Amino acid sequence: MKTSKFKLALLSFASAALLAACGNVSSTNSSATGTELKEDTLKIGYNLELSGAVSSYGQTEKNGADLAVKEINAAGGVDGKKIEVVAKDNKSETAEAATVATSLASEGVNIIIGPATSGASGASIANVTAAGVPMITPSGTQTDLVVNSEGKVQDFFFRTTFTDGYQGEIMAEYATKNLNAKKVVLYYDNSSDYGKGVAESFQNAYKGEIVSTITFASGDKDFQAALTKLKGLDFDAIIMPGYYNETGTIVKQARGLGIDKPILGSDGFDSPLFAELATASAANKVYYLSAFVPSASERAKEFHDAYMKEYGEEPSMFSALAYDSVYMAAEASKGSKNSVEVKDKLAALKDFDGVTGKMSIDKDHNVVKSVYVVSLKDGKADTVDTVSLTEAAK
């Protein structure tokens, strides 16, 4: 696999991260004292999509988190405390995710890993805040989750991945500089805050011409009509923010209609099921954002090999992000007496060396880290570009 590096001057990233949040999340500060860390146990809860529409994400995140727990416990635990896991399925439903958050807190967990998606994460924030228990979403990317309607940071919310706004800016820059795309079609998932957030950020950042903007929705299966209309347009690339469930099928149907232009997707493409849905012969000239590639570092390769040995399959970005989330939780738990102290140490985390890169938590609880753009050839990863913020952007 070939790897190259380049720098992007994303000066508007910081401002994007400060957007006002959706109104259903209210309080940023909790009067709760949180949960106490037991003398011999660190209790971690999973609030994951283990069944339902996006169970592929939740299942792989559980695998990654479980591997981290196994390694940490085998090495003696956290300050001698063994990690105890309480895993619950939010069924890929936002209301259920909120219920699970409350349930986990009532069972005394000290920190929660998950949910995987932005909608489920947003639905959980108020409940964990009220309980005084921090949560780390491995892959909830919605930019405005981090602050409430009053512009205040959600104290108990953290993430291991980059934001939707960040993704949109990177996609705009990558389309222009690497794909030489002066004209694009923007084809995105209009049924999710994730798809809409990435698309909006791309529209704001892209300096070329968007010749057509079309949408799809979660659960759609037939994209022939929309693809037939755009086939006759003059464009250089298709920009496609969305999840693998639909985008894999879109790629297959697009290639079947003879549309051979490059397709640039968001990190929702990053699932083993994407190539299955698209088929290997169709998954060419496809590029997507990811937070993890095995060739990025020695730690990444070690994680890849350990995951392969444990589960007999390739780890995805989601499993790697969940793995890092558990190690971040363990680091923040060192010396902590309760979940509120764990929260404070998470907020202060700097230069944490994870398998998805070196990362720090900024003042808005967003993570500062590198992003990878993976290209596919016959359904397999071919090249990887490492995208880093310049010092000015930081």
pLDDT tens digits, one per residue of 26-49? 334 445 689 999 999 999 999 999
Looking up tokens 């990362």, which residue turns up? 359
**The pLDDT of residue 18 is above 80:** no
The CATH class that applies to domain 162-289 reads alpha beta
pLDDT for 127? 97
Domain coordinates in residue numbering, the chain:
39-161+293-368, 162-289
Average pLDDT, the chain: 89
pLDDT greater than 60 at residue 336: yes
Q: How do residues 254-301 score in pLDDT, each as one tens digit? A: 999 999 999 999 989 988 899 999 999 999 999 999 889 898 889 999
pLDDT digits (tens, 9 = 90+) for 110-130: 999 999 998 999 999 999 999
The answer to whether 224 and 252 are in contact (CB under 8 A) is no
Whether 162-289 and 39-161+293-368 are alike in CATH topology: the answer is yes
Of 264, 311, 255, 312, the residue nearest 290 (C-alpha): 264
Mean pLDDT of 218-235: 95
- pLDDT, residue 386, reads 79
| Sign of the Cα pseudo-torsion (130, 132, 133, 138, in order) | positive
CA–CA gap between residue 260 and residue 278 (Å, rounded):
13
Query: Which residue has better confidence, 162 or 241?
Result: 241
Tell me how far CA of residue 147 lies from CA of 17, 154, 201, 204, in angstroms.
9, 5, 17, 21
- Reported pTM: 0.76
Residue 15 confidence (pLDDT): 28
CATH class of segment(s) 39-161+293-368: alpha beta
Name the 3-class secondary structure at 334.
Answer: coil
The predicted structure's pLDDT at residue 388: 58
DSSP string, 340-380: HHHHHHHHT--SEEETTEEEEE-TTSPEE--EEEEEEETTE
Q: Is 388 exposed, middle or buried (0-12, 13-18, 19+ CB in 10 A)?
A: middle
Summarised one tens digit per residue, pLDDT across range 91-114 is: 999 999 999 999 999 999 999 999
